[in-house]
Structure 1
Amino acid sequence: GSKVNLQPAEEDTETSGAAIDLLSFPPQDVAEQLTLMDVDLFQKLQSCHCLGSIWSQRDKKENRNVAPSVRATVAQFNAVTACVIASVLNDIQLKPQQRARVLEKWICIAQHCRFLRNFSSLRAILSALQSNPLYRLKRTWASVSRDNLNIFHKLSDIFSDENNHGMSREILTKEEIPLRRTNSARNEPRPLQRSASQVRNPRLLQGTVPYLGTFLTDLIILDTAQE
């Protein structure tokens, strides 16, 4: 088929350790650092590498080194997804309630990625949370707070495949004022306060990092239709 599937890579001990260390930082800081990495990759992305005629042939042996700028973005996406999965599953001694706190931490990080309009890491985190190894943890998910579950489902709706991913496409075309965590009393967004890292890195205050998979799929479909 022509659908682009960005699946998590096999996690290793190094990934697991990195995941644990990552969760010792505040969620907003993690989201900001992920965004800075994704911005750097997106700025280095070469549009010609995204062409369906090139990307669709990436799995052939002779094309192992084609589209390096796209492969770098995919590798980062897979690394984030593997990191999320490892952080939840690595410690077999964790009780469901403890795993639920890890899930909530990642949901919060995902929410900050949304506020920063980093749809690449947002999609990577959601892909991990929706993956079979994590989604089947019924007792763990039962211990996740209702507020966090609502946030998780709302973020997941962004990438619904209804109307050819209509919601995510519409969001990408909108200019938005950066937001912060919603006011729980009125459920209204408030302006995002600039952190020290945002002052140092103004790239976090403007622009968008899209989820590349949707557009790679579009380009492959267009290329196939022209054959």
Structure 2
Amino acid sequence: MMDFFLTFRQFLTPIKLCKLLILRFRWALLQEDDEHRLIRIRTFVVIRHWLTHYWTYDFTTSRTLRYVLSTFLTQLQSNPVILASPRDDRIVKNLRNVLKRQRKFYQQWVDPLQQQQQEQDEKGKLPSRKDSAIGISSCRNSLHLHHQDNSAHSSTPVPSLSSWTTKVKRSLKRTVSIRQSQSTATAAQPPTLYSTVNNASSCRCHLTDSSLSTASSVSLNNSQHQEPCMMHPSFARPPPALHTTSRFFRASNASTTTLSHYKSIILKYRSEVIAQQFCLIERAMLQNVTWDELVDLRWRKRSAQRKSFVIEMTTLDDDVPVGVDQMIGFFNMTCQWVASEIVRSQQLDTRVKVIEKFLRIALKCYHHRNYSTLMQILLGLQSPAVSRLERTWQKVDHCQMELFNQLKEMAKPFRNWKNVRDCMTKATEEVAESFAVESVLTKSLKEFDNTHGCIPFLGLYLSDLVFVAELPTFIGSALPDDDDQEEEQVLQNDDKDLCERLSHHLVNYNKFRITASVVKHVLAFQVLSRAYSFKVHPTLHTHLRSIRSLDNADIRKASFLCEE
């Protein structure tokens, strides 16, 4: 039953399923024998399970579905068979109570959202100045709060509208003058190394062949701009500021001088702390993955419209249901970041330390069963731009190389990633699939003992879902061929109803059973990931969530600068 409700929407609509269950229950009311009583009980269990676990997925989005089911339950109250059987009467009352409870919970959940939307609409209707770059509504709210704070200390009356408008004008003029003075002070200061790195993406001058630049939209559109900028000593004015919170990642430009003095942030923290922060980041993204997103393969439908899989991690807390996209984007970005951190370290000794540090972080991730970050680091270390650095790898410690070889052996892709799959399958055995599905669907936060956290290599399960989706949803008739006339005649004589059912197309339920099995594995990992109890390191956690890297072309250039 669990597999069916996870996947039935692929071949059946919720309204049609509801009508079929109603027909089944009505058929069971025609006779009063053991078989029909058993069917009534089973149908009751199915409807109750559907209402309890999938209300938010099917019923909240369909008013027709709620109406059909509630009307049916109301009509059953006057059915003679139900009235004559106390057990059946309890079944109907139980279903009605479940429906009322879910509907009440839904109304309590929706009403605050509707109230919030109405408040936002009312705020949008407030008058605003069309000739001003700053909306008066926001200033009005802030001034209102300011007056509330001051009212606690004095009893000064609230000023009139004209005086309030005068204060707003003065505030705007004061803000503009302050910003102009700040811009003048910034232009008068020489650029430091820190400001050069942070403002590299704002450089609009034409870079030379020896410099490394990233193919962002700004640098492409302004590659022919010849005016001086603050990236060079002879700049005359600061460049316009760029938005740094765009959804898609824009890598910063880096000059050759900057690369030669670059020191990776991973050298400033312990390997254990870095591995723990990666576990927390991966856990947060894994919790955003929904089972219906996996069943519907929504990430594949969105991938055709996306220009890049590298997503800005500052959008991690958004309400957009793109959990799989976030994990794919972060996986690709981290692989590229690992290679970037190595090739950006131009000094040989520093580059060796960075490689050895990544190997120790990978080992910590393996101990914490964070197979996602483990694969990201290993793939980054095995990228062509890093693998070609022969002199660098010769300097790596022998013990570290032995560790690297063992990790590569465990994560090799042979036999469909058998070693990694075995490790992850062993982890899922610690949590019952029924408990995992129940916990995720009901949003239960029940704790369980004697369990360690685990983050899966989600790409394996996504590839399984894509492969299974290629199987046919329906299969043809299962009747015998024309050559087997005798077998067909025997079948028709034995069971005409079965023969009629087999003459129609049948649902390939084996396909959906495999799909449900993969989805339940991912839900089990969601429950397992809650077992991590690491503390958040604010500075490091924020940096790792918004990591920056060079693009592929710049990584290759930097690699050749390291070793020609």
How far apart are the structure 2 equivalents of 1:63 and 1:105? 32
**Pair 1:226 & 2:465 matched:** no
How far apart are the structure 2 equivalents of 1:47 and 1:225? 20
Alignment of 1:84-103 (within 5 A): 84-92=338-346, 94-95=347-348, 97-103=349-355
Change (3 A) 1:156 1:12: farther
How far apart are the structure 1 equivalents of 2:459 and 2:251? 21
Change (3 A) 1:11 1:164: same
Contact 1:126/1:156 (8 A) holds in 2: yes
Aligned counterpart, 2:396: 144
Which of the numbers 252, 255, 271 marks the counterpart of 1:12?
Answer: 252
Counterpart residue type for residue 215 of structure 1: Y
Deviations 1:141-192 (A, max 9, x none): 111112111111211222222221111111112259xxxxxxxxxxxxxxxx
Counterpart residue type for residue 127 of structure 1: L
Counterpart residue type for residue 103 of structure 1: I
Matched positions, count: 189
Residue 265 of structure 2 aligns to a residue whose secondary structure is helix
How far apart are the structure 2 equivalents of 1:11 and 1:159? 29
Alignment of 1:18-97 (within 5 A): 20-51=264-295, 53-61=297-305, 68-92=322-346, 94-95=347-348, 97=349
Contact 1:57/1:63 (8 A) holds in 2: no
Counterpart residue type for residue 132 of structure 1: P
Contact 2:359/2:404 (8 A) holds in 1: yes
Aligned counterpart, 2:413: 161
How far apart are the structure 2 equivalents of 1:62 and 1:79? 15
1:85 shift after superposition: 1.5
Change (3 A) 1:30 1:53: closer
How far apart are the structure 2 equivalents of 1:151 and 1:70? 31
Change (3 A) 1:11 1:112: farther
1:75 shift after superposition: 2.0
1:125 shift after superposition: 0.7
Change (3 A) 1:210 1:18: farther
Deviations 1:33-92 (A, max 9, x none): 01111111112211222346433333323999x961111112222232232122111133
How far apart are the structure 2 equivalents of 1:62 and 1:27? 34
Which of the numbers 123, 134, 143 marks the counterpart of 2:386?
Answer: 134
Aligned counterpart, 2:426: 174
Identity of counterpart residues, as a percentage? Answer: 25
Calculate the TM-score normalised by the size of structure 1. Answer: 0.72
Calculate the TM-score normalised by the size of structure 2. Answer: 0.31
How far apart are the structure 2 equivalents of 1:109 and 1:125? 8
Aligned counterpart, 1:192: none
Contact 1:22/1:30 (8 A) holds in 2: yes
Aligned counterpart, 1:200: none
Change (3 A) 1:13 1:28: farther
Aligned counterpart, 2:231: none
Counterpart residue type for residue 226 of structure 1: P
RMSD: 3.2
Counterpart residue type for residue 124 of structure 1: Q
Structure possessing the higher relative contact order (Cα contacts under 8 Å, 6 or more residues apart):
1
Aligned counterpart, 1:181: none
Structure 2 gaps of 5+ residues are: 1-248, 309-319, 429-450, 474-564
Aligned counterpart, 2:67: none
Aligned counterpart, 1:216: 462
Residue 57 of structure 1 aligns to a residue whose secondary structure is helix
Contact 1:52/1:219 (8 A) holds in 2: no
Aligned counterpart, 1:106: 358
Change (3 A) 1:60 1:108: same
Residue 414 of structure 2 aligns to a residue whose secondary structure is coil
Residue 268 of structure 2 aligns to a residue whose secondary structure is coil
Contact 1:117/1:207 (8 A) holds in 2: yes
Contact 1:52/1:223 (8 A) holds in 2: no
How far apart are the structure 1 equivalents of 2:471 and 2:262? 43
Of structures 1 and 2, the larger Rg is shown by: 2
How far apart are the structure 2 equivalents of 1:29 and 1:62? 33
Change (3 A) 1:151 1:69: same
Counterpart residue type for residue 106 of structure 1: F
How far apart are the structure 2 equivalents of 1:59 and 1:90? 30
Q: Which range moves more in the overlay, 43-52 or 97-106?
A: 43-52
Moved over 6 A (4+): 16-19
Counterpart residue type for residue 143 of structure 1: K
Change (3 A) 1:136 1:19: same
Contact 1:41/1:73 (8 A) holds in 2: yes
Counterpart residue type for residue 354 of structure 2: V
How far apart are the structure 1 equivalents of 2:389 and 2:321? 37
Which of the numbers 102, 119, 130 marks the counterpart of 2:371?
Answer: 119
Counterpart residue type for residue 224 of structure 1: E
Contact 1:52/1:221 (8 A) holds in 2: no
How far apart are the structure 2 equivalents of 1:90 and 1:141? 16
